[in-house]
Amino acid sequence: MKKRNPFPILPYPHLLGIKDLSKTTILALLDRADATVAFSHKHKKSLLHGKTQVNLFFEASTRTQSSFEIAGKRLGANVINMLIGNSSIKKGETLIDTAITLNAMSPDILVIRHSSAGAAALLAQKVDCSVINAGDGAHEHPTQALLDALTIRRTKGKIENLIVAICGDILHSRVARSNILSLNTLGAQVRIVAPSTLLPTGIEDMSVTVFHSMTKGIQDADVVMMLRLQHERMIQALIPSTREYFHFYGLDREKLKKAKPDCIVMHPGPMNRGVEISSSVADGPQSVIQTQVKMGIAVRMAVMEALLDSQRER
């Protein structure tokens, strides 16, 4: 007989964004993920045995999709990857019709990535199972923020009062929004470094300090988080050239010297080497980019476990 958890970590059956999570909830998820890291590389019991997890990726993804797939499989779930390229979505079916169709097949967890902000929330209204937002437009990417927090906590031992500089294309970045929310909730000092054309309106009111100079922005930072320059979303020419961008905002060894000597360098991937980050830094001793990928699986396992707990409670 399964043990019932009287206090589920997640109060809701979905994980749509960091915005809905309290500090306690985030910390509890991190603790659970922390405990999972040790054996996240092998099959863990069979918590999700007999459960069906559907990965619905409307946008191309390598690491997030495979991370969710591996996390699900290591928990014993049956994982189905919907191939959008071959499906009826290509034939003009709307997101809601797809959701209703999938819902009729009674999955337990839906993992969705979509190019439109709010797509995950829309889906969650129409299905009976748990929905995990794996990135919706420029809105949120909660599991990325959780794995980033876990990476920071494991390398630095804490998050509170650390100086974290998030650098680059904030405007198009869901990772930035989720990280601003989670790092602020966890008590870090968040800095934003970017040219003004890559910043959303009202960024100053998001509890961050804004810098337009990289050297000033990463001065004494404990963590430098680089973001990918999202060429595919750049509808207009927001920057004149990648050459100029790298000169002023690309992270190289020289600029990194401004940060604290033990500063760690993060990147959610995929990287544009030579655009926002130089190879010498990306592969250098301060880089924790591979750790982030590893933490990704642990965090996603923890999230799925927590969602099933809260499902049982409903």
State how far Cα 254 lies from the chain centre.
Answer: 28
Taking the least distance from each CB to other proteins, the nearer of 86 and 201 is: 201
Quickly tell me which residue has 């619905």 as its tokens.
56
Query: Ramachandran region of residue 139, left (φ > 0), alpha (ψ -120 to 50) or beta?
Result: alpha
Taking the least distance from each CB to other proteins, the nearer of 20 and 34 is: 20
Taking the least distance from each CB to other proteins, the nearer of 234 and 293 is: 234
Q: How many CB atoms lie within 10 A of CB 101?
A: 12
Quickly tell me which residue has 């008590």 as its tokens.
187
- Nearest distance, CB of residue 203 and other proteins, angstroms: 7
Residues that bind other proteins (CB under 8 A): 19, 94-96, 114, 116-119, 121-122, 136-140, 174, 177, 200-203, 205-206, 235-236
DSSP 121-141: HHHHHH-SSEEEEEEETTTB-
- Nearest distance, CB of residue 58 and other proteins, angstroms: 10
Taking the least distance from each CB to other proteins, the nearer of 133 and 272 is: 133
Q: Which of 314, 295, 313 is nearest to 70 (CA)?
A: 295
- Nearest distance, CB of residue 128 and other proteins, angstroms: 18
Taking the least distance from each CB to other proteins, the nearer of 193 and 308 is: 193
- Nearest distance, CB of residue 32 and other proteins, angstroms: 27
Residue 85: φ, ψ to 5°? -55, -30
- Nearest distance, CB of residue 33 and other proteins, angstroms: 25
Per DSSP bridges, beta strands 189-193 and 130-136 are: unpaired
- Nearest distance, CB of residue 227 and other proteins, angstroms: 14
Q: Which residue intervals of 105-257 are DSSP H helices?
A: 119-126, 142-156, 174-185, 214-217, 242-249, 253-256
Taking the least distance from each CB to other proteins, the nearer of 18 and 163 is: 18
